[in-house]
Structure 1
Amino acid sequence: MTHEPAQRQSREWTLSDCGEWIAVPGAGDDKYSRGVLGVVTGSDEYPGAAVLGVEAATRTGVGMVRYVGDDVPSRLVLERRPETVTAVGRVQAWLIGSGMDAAHRDPANAARLRAALADGVPCVVDAGALDLIAEEHAPVVITPHYRELARVLAGDAARASGGGAGAPSAEKIAADARGWARRAADATGATVLLKGHVTHVCAPGGEVIDVCTGPDAGWLATAGSGDALGGILGALLATHADRIAAEGHDALAALAATAAALHGAAGARASAARAGGPIAALDVAEHVATVVGDVLSAA
């Protein structure tokens, strides 16, 4: 599990690589053909994650967001983004788990998460749904930070051997984040987006893609920043469902790297708007549309 085959390389992903992976609607498109993202995030205890993910997805460019969740986050999502649909229906991708706690998962949210994983469409799995990835039935991107990845790998080791022996600590993962992103992709069969100052993306059996978020990246280490990243990635998956069906994890890895690059650039934009000062996660989400416009203009 610790050996890294020599033929597997790494590369850097920048904003100049993103243009190909941003869908631009045409005159014949409608809200359905532009992509519908289903969202099961947030909880009555952590409702803000739902608001941030939906906001970021909307700003990235998606035809519709369907939010399915508890009463408190549902109300807050609709107050912030009244165009959000709260009725269950067909989607092209799911974003699940942000703002949820697996240790205190109630039956309603457990059913929502499992239904999303069983839907057969691409899925972004974050935070409080990471323990369920063994139940997936479609291409999955997981978006852990170091501590969350340590728990994922401990669960994988427990399923394989009946115990968690040999699973790395968060500190061990941080010391070799690129290597552990690669190992985690192979171990779980999911595309891995490992969050950090440098984000590492890897598909099973694939190269590692490094996304450097720039000198202002420290301001992105703020509550809710990962929830916004999940919304960006969910929107990209929903707008590229056909390409994911054709290219599988290669497309998922490119889309995950694109999401990380857009997220980092939005954070830099938000900080620049405050003379280089601190930002909040909602600031990041609000600047995504401008960054997308910049990328498309350059392309």
Structure 2
Amino acid sequence: MATGTWREWTADDASEWLSAPSADDDKYRRGVLGVITGSPDFPGAAVLGVEAAHRTGVGMVRFTGPRAVRQAVLAARPETVGVPGRVQAWLLGSGMDTDHRSFLLAGDLQHALASGEPTVLDAGGLDLVGSHTAPTVITPHARELARLLNDRDIDATVEEVEADPAGWAARAAEELRVAVLLKGAVTHVCDPDGTRLTVTASTHWLASAGTGDVLGGIVGALAATHHERLATHATAITYLAATAAFVHSEAARRASEAWEGGPVTAMDVAHAIPPVIGRLLRGEARSPRP
């Protein structure tokens, strides 16, 4: 499957898509991320995504997901706003089951999409792709991408996607007309305009539950912070997604190093985001990989 030339996203690349707040910034200029994620069965997905978004430096996180999940989110991050209001980007679907949405939740998701703001669709929100025209990135793993494509009458097995992630990520971007971040040991980020980027994992301890929810929070936060740029350059979401994948990978490496190269949890990765961003903002070279 022809996919064009892929380029590895570097620390120098990522640093160009990060910004520290200036004296003129307030929480709205830094961006407000709206989050509708989690479910009674998977409340942790919402907690992890919100935690990661805060740690990435967004101005505000506004959680309007399921009421049963909101208490857990506010207990973990009390600075989160739990009522509807102004939003400049959305993170939708993490920790949700596509087949078990309440009427109210489905309405909330459609209302978010109708806002026209940049959107990150993950997990239980992937089937919503194509229902709006705002800058959008989807963040599936191989199984989720295969299911999504099959639902669109494009035959793809999990084994085929795993054997050729570059080809299938590129085809998904072309067919669905959105940016695609296909998670894996090598994450492939691409869009319909031909941008082809890879981020190679700096540690395989990322292969654990909840780390994808953390990644979603990072992408969403960066989209909210760059909402003004996305309003005029929709393709910027591809570079923001690649930057998020790079930060995610480096945070996992840093968290593992704190445990002598040992295993890490998703929350460990979220907590390691600020120093990674700090180093990138200072233009410091990334530490050698173990």
Which TM-score tier does this pair reach, normalised by the shorter chain? over 0.9
Partner residue in 1 for 2:189: 201
Q: How does 1:71-220 map to 2 (within 5 A)?
A: 71-157=67-153, 166-214=154-202, 216=203, 218-220=204-206
Query: Which one-letter code corresponds to 2:82 in the other structure?
Result: T
Q: Which stretch shifts more, 226-235 or 22-31?
A: 22-31
| Cα-to-partner distance string for 1:203-224 (whole Å, 9 max, x where unaligned) | 113131011122x2x1001110
Residues 35 and 62, structure 1, Cα contact 8 Å, conserved in 2: yes
Query: In structure 2, what is the equivalent of residue 9 of structure 1?
Result: 5
1:237 to 223, 230, 239: 223
TM-score (norm 1): 0.93
Amino acid at match of 1:235: A
Task: Tell me the distance in 1 between the aligned counterparts of 2:11 and 2:211.
Answer: 19
**What is the RMSD computed on CA atoms of the aligned residues?**
1.1
| Counterpart amino acid of residue 228 in structure 1 | V
- 2:210 corresponds to 1:224: yes
| Alpha-carbon displacement from aligned partner over 1:223-245 (angstroms, at most 9, x marks no partner) | 10000000000000001111112
Which of structure 1's runs of 4+ aligned residues deviate more than 6 A? none
> Is this contact kept in 1: 2:19–2:281, CA < 8 A?
no
Q: CA shift at 1:297, angstroms?
A: 1.2
Whichever residue aligns with residue 220 of structure 1, its letter is L
Number of the residue aligned with 1:256 = 241
Report the counterpart of residue 272 of structure 1 in structure 2: 257
Distance 1:137 1:205, change over 3 A: closer
Q: 2: distance between equivalents of 1:42 and 1:57? A: 15
Pairwise CA distance, 1:136: 1.9
Kept in 2: contact 1:44–1:71 (CA 8 A):
no
* CA distance, structure 2, for counterparts of residue 208 and residue 137 of structure 1: 21
Q: Is the 8 A contact 2:36 2:66 kept in 1?
A: no
The separation in 2 between residues aligned to 1:147 and 1:16, in whole angstroms, is: 31
- Identity percentage of aligned residues: 54
Query: TM-score when scaled to structure 2?
Result: 0.95
Q: Which residue of 1 aligns with 2:287?
A: none
**Equivalent residues of 2:33, 2:90 under 8 A apart:** yes
Whole-Å Cα distance in 2 between the matches of residues 258 and 202 of structure 1?
Answer: 12
Measured in 1, the distance between the counterparts of 2:231 and 2:57 equals 20
Gaps of 5+ in 2: 285-290
Alignment partners' CA distance in 1, 2:133 and 2:106: 16
1:240 alignment partner AA: H
The one-character-per-residue Cα deviations of 1:61-87 (angstroms, maximum 9, x if unpaired) are 111000011223200111111000011
Quote the offset at 1:295 in angstroms. 0.5
Q: Would you say 1:292 and 2:280 are equivalent positions?
A: no
Find the counterpart in structure 2 of residue 162 from structure 1. none
Q: Deviations over 1:3-60 (max 9, x none)?
A: x26xx32111022211111122110111111100000000111100000000000000
Secondary structure of 2:259's aligned partner: coil
Aligned partner (choices 55, 63, 70) of residue 66 of structure 2? 70
**More off after superposition, 10-19 vs 88-97:** 10-19
Distance (whole Å) between structure 2 residues aligned to residue 129 and residue 136 of structure 1: 13
Q: Which moved more, 1:260-269 or 1:148-157?
A: 148-157
- CA apart distance, 1:176: 0.5
One-letter amino acid matched to 2:280 = V
How far apart in 2 are the matches of 1:107 and 1:282?
31
How many pairs does the alignment contain?
A: 284
